[in-house]
Amino acid sequence: MILQLFKKTKSLDFERSYRAPVETVWRAWTQPEMLRQWWGPENTVVPQCDIDLRVGGQLYVVMEAGAAMGKYQGTRWPMEGTFTRIEENSRLTYDARSWTEGEEEGSTIHHTNDVTLIQRDEMTTVHLHISVSKIGPKAKMAAFGMKWGYKQQLDKLENHLAQQS
């Protein structure tokens, strides 16, 4: 049932506007020390983040469940990707795979993320398009929850950007 629901939406689209210059929003997506402060849904932290910002360069982010996630505390979810398009302060695209640490074989989700930034006056609009191409047999619930997780992540970005001004 869950996989059938997700088959109808193999892609996710989000659009958010932030009161921040496009350069600040770009740095939040491309500088490891900034990305670590807002990446992932609520009650997660990012203990590791590496970004080689060039086409063909790697992105590696590890999310870890905090104490508020109860029985999931300490669970780690790595994401490894390769940048395929970089237009400074404008567009960032990467092919990635995400999984639950220790269960990589069955829990991997393959996806392409395309981030577009547009500045109008004092606002920067972020459009995030995610195309999911493959879901491992143990990743159906995680794939179904991606929409919820990304919404929380974009909320955390808003809070992070508010602290930057």
Calculate the dihedral angle through the C-alpha atoms of 70, 73, 30, 135, rounding to the nearest 10 degrees: -80
Q: Which CATH superfamily is 10-163 part of?
A: START domain (3.30.530.20)
Q: Tell me the pLDDT tens digit for each residue of 78-110.
A: 999 999 999 999 999 999 999 999 999 899 999
Q: 143 pLDDT band (50/70/90 cuts)?
A: confident
Q: Tell me the pLDDT tens digit for each residue of 42-91.
A: 999 999 999 999 999 999 999 999 999 899 999 999 999 999 999 999 99
Would you say the pTM of this structure is higher than 0.75? Answer: yes
